[in-house]
């Protein structure tokens, strides 16, 4: 593993393989959650969907945590049925909430049913969780979106508003295909560990643009407003 310490608290960890990355990220997240349980009696983590986190989920699920005191939620979710292959929560249920980790409390952003009012329902469901997040693991698209902060989101300014009062907001964006819900910038920025988990050379090129302060990429706004630790492997 190669470590790069950059300005503004930015840190980039470059791993020799994706398996090594999954183990390294799982180890750091487990440490943060274990410390949170010892310190305040609960650990709280938000994870992302897609295909990238599968190996990380499997590694984290095997860590010897007091899972009954861990709360898991999602960074973002598509407004699709919970058992849809497009649902981020399906991957979480199948790869993370298994074995001892099945004892964790999982709070999805969307329970299914009508999409009307889904944002308000998610806001209520998440309001009483043990904020702030101890860890949040973000992904990133080659268009520079992270969470559901898409470049063409109709309400991108509200999503990124560091003074916003909402935990969750709905998202409409042509680049997103489905309507979505996402945690907002203030909810993510206060996480004890805010990790960006990316793989492949194409995303490394996007990361390089972010580190050069490319203001056209939404993920750059996250780097501007929070301390982000990047976990990358080819």
The predicted structure's pLDDT at residue 174: 92
Q: What is the DSSP string of 30-51?
A: HHHHHHHHHHHS-EEEEE--SS
Please check the confidence at residue 143 and state whether its pLDDT lies above 80. yes
Q: What is the DSSP string of 88-108?
A: HHHHIIIIIS-GGGGGSEEE-
3-state secondary structure of 3: strand
In 3D, which of 173, 192, 228 has the Cα closest to residue 6? 228
Among 6-10, 26-30, 65-69, 143-147, where is mean pLDDT lowest? 6-10
- Contact (Cβ atoms closer than 8 angstroms) between residue 96 and residue 47: yes
The predicted structure's pLDDT at residue 8: 67
Overall average pLDDT of the 128-150 stretch: 97
pLDDT band of 7, cuts 50, 70, 90: low
- Contacts for 105 with CB less than 8 Å, ≥ 6 apart: 70, 71, 72
Overall average pLDDT of the 60-65 stretch: 98
pTM: 0.96
Domain ranges of the chain: 32-201+228-233
Overall average pLDDT of the 112-134 stretch: 97
Q: Which fold has domain 32-201+228-233?
A: Rossmann fold (3.40.50)
């Amino acid at each position: 593993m190669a470590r790069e310490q950059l300005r503004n608290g930015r840190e980039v960890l470059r791993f020799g393989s994706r398996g090594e990355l999954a183990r390294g990220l799982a180890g750091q997240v487990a440490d943060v959650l274990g410390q949170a349980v010892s310190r305040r009696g609960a650990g709280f983590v938000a994870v992302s969907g897609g295909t990238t986190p599968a190996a990380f989920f499997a590694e984290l699920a095997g860590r010897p945590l007091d899972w009954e005191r861990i709360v898991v939620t999602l960074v973002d979710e598509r407004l699709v049925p919970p058992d849809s292959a497009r649902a981020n929560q399906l991957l979480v249920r199948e790869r993370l909430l298994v074995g001892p980790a099945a004892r964790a409390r999982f709070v999805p952003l969307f329970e299914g049913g009508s999409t009307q009012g889904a944002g308000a329902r998610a806001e209520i469901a998440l309001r009483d969780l043990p904020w702030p997040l101890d860890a949040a693991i973000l992904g990133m698209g080659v268009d520079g979106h992270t969470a559901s902060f898409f470049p063409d989101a109709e309400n991108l300014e509200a999503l990124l508003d560091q003074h916003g009062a909402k935990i969750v907001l709905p998202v409409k964006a042509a680049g997103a295909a489905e309507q979505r819900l996402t945690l907002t910038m203030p909810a993510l920025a206060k996480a004890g560990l805010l990790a960006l988990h990316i793989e492949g050379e194409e995303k490394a090129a996007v990361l390089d643009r972010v580190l050069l302060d490319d203001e056209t990429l939404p993920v750059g706004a996250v780097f501007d407003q929070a301390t982000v630790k990047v976990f990358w492997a080819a």
